[in-house]
Amino acid sequence: MCVARHVLFGGPASSRHLAVLCGWGGGKLKNVHKYASFWHRLGWRTATVEMTMDMTFFPASQTAAADVARSIARECREQRVAHGDEARIVAHSFSNGGTFMKLAVLEEGGVSFDGAVYDSAPSLSTRFLPLGAPFVIASSGGSFGARLREATRHLPYALAATVAAPWSDRPPPLGLFRKLFSAETNVPRPELFVYSADDALIPSHMVERFIERRRMHGSAPVQVLGPLACSPHCSHCKTHPLDYAAAVARFAAVVVEAPRVHAGAVTRESEYGV
């Protein structure tokens, strides 16, 4: 499948540091890439990844998701080879869809992120995760007719995957989501959380529970921008641009000074009971 349609690189090619921007489900590449400017101002190189609705909610074997994850993992490994221990790589994930791609990249092996930004993420429910598709589609742009057709196309798989959840594992990317809550598969690292009190898709209390769990896992420092007021889901750079830019700059400085996070690092494991 064509990876180039879903990935866009930017920033200084010679930079020692790479930010991987993992887009929200259904977000267009051009819209996700707007966030790359925050990193470019700091001298970082970026790889922006689009997560279409299909890549977010359908099995990876049926979409470009697996090929895209493999391509980004290769890019991360090459960044390490080129710049050694001075290289720093951050995953900047938007909504649950962005965390799916982050986890898919880690699954490729030989990849580690030295820092993680969570924008409007994550939710806590795993059982009803597939049913998010119709709701996300309903809240997206486009005409009513287009959204109805897209939701109708996703609904059969959403229902089937939800019903089958107690008896079978979901395939990636949905099946990877539980790994976000384990300190073994999502190792502690410096982290930044940006979230809103007015998010209609992922309520602030879910993000705050995850923040506390990550602190228990040993993530340090954990920086927080939120809960922001009057800021819809994945719209925080639009509603609070100066605060967002300052938060990313502070976080990037911390990541550069912090020790590198090595692939395969393990601390005590802890799972959410969700």
Residues 91-140: tens digit of each pLDDT: 999 999 999 999 999 999 999 999 999 999 999 877 667 888 888 888 77
Helix axes 95-107, 65-83, angle to 10 degrees: 60
Beta strand pairing call for 191-196 and 7-10: unpaired
Smallest CA-to-CA distance from 226 within 180, 253, 194, 261 is with: 194
Q: How far is CA 187 from the centre of its chain?
A: 15
Tokens, residue 173: 């990317």
Between CA 244 and CA 237 the distance in angstroms is 6
Across the range 135-148, mean pLDDT stands at 84
Smallest CA-to-CA distance from 197 within 224, 223, 226, 225 is with: 226
Confirm if 136 and 25 have CB atoms less than 8 A apart: yes
Across the range 180-185, mean pLDDT stands at 94
pTM value?
0.92
143, exposed or middle or buried, with CB in 10 Å at 0-12, 13-18, 19+? exposed
Residues 58-69: tens digit of each pLDDT: 999 999 999 999
More confident call, 50 vs 273: 50
Name all domains of the chain by residue range, CATH numbers in brackets: 7-257 (3.40.50.1820)
Element holding 193 (H helix, E strand): strand 191-196
Spatial CB neighbours of 251, under 8 Å, sequence gap ≥ 6 = 90, 115, 117, 190, 192, 223
Residues 210-246: tens digit of each pLDDT: 999 999 999 999 999 999 999 999 999 999 999 999 9
Roughly how many angstroms between the first and final C-alpha of the chain, as a whole number? 34
